[in-house]
Amino acid sequence: MASWPEIAYWLSLMVIAVTIVGVAVGRYPYLRMNRATIAMAGAAGLLLLGALTLQQAYASLDLDTLTLLFGMMVINVNLQRAGFFGVVGNWVVHFAHSPRQLLALIIISSGILSR
């Protein structure tokens, strides 16, 4: 019979594997989980199994990156609500007269907007 540390070790490996696969695929269709939810559930699972302490979890957070991502999400939502992406999409479609021009304009507009 296996001891609890050994069982917890293998369960932790399974949680990590399922989390990595879920993040790579992007979602779990029948669970309605997206990447963020999958990552959060994986972290919670590791905490529950004792593979990671709460202090180790806090220490692994990069607040600069989290602040940047939060700021980008706020900007993205406001641009979407203002209709900015619709305007850019309409402009690209209006000036594209062939599939190649459409592809070129999508690449150019994506490059400009990503700066």
> What HEC string does 10-71 produce?
HHHHHHHHHHHHHHHHCEECCCCEEHHHHHHHHHHHHHHHCCCCHHHHHHCCCHHHHHHHHH
What's the token pair of residue 72? 């980008």
pLDDT higher than 90, residue 56: yes
Q: Is residue 112 within a helix (H) or strand (E), and if so which, with residue range?
A: helix 99-113
The ranges assigned to domains in the chain are 1-61, 62-115
Q: What is the mean pLDDT of the chain?
A: 91
Give me the pLDDT at residue 3, please. Answer: 86
pLDDT higher than 80, residue 1: no
pLDDT higher than 90, residue 48: yes
Q: What is the mean pLDDT of residues 12-26?
A: 93
**Roughly how many angstroms between the first and final C-alpha of the chain, as a whole number?**
58
Give the angle 21-23-28 at the CA atoms, nearest 5°.
80
Give me the pLDDT at residue 29, please. Answer: 78
pLDDT higher than 90, residue 13: yes
pTM of this prediction?
A: 0.64
What's the token pair of residue 61? 């957070």
Give me the pLDDT at residue 39, please. Answer: 92
92 CB neighbour count, 10 Å cutoff: 17
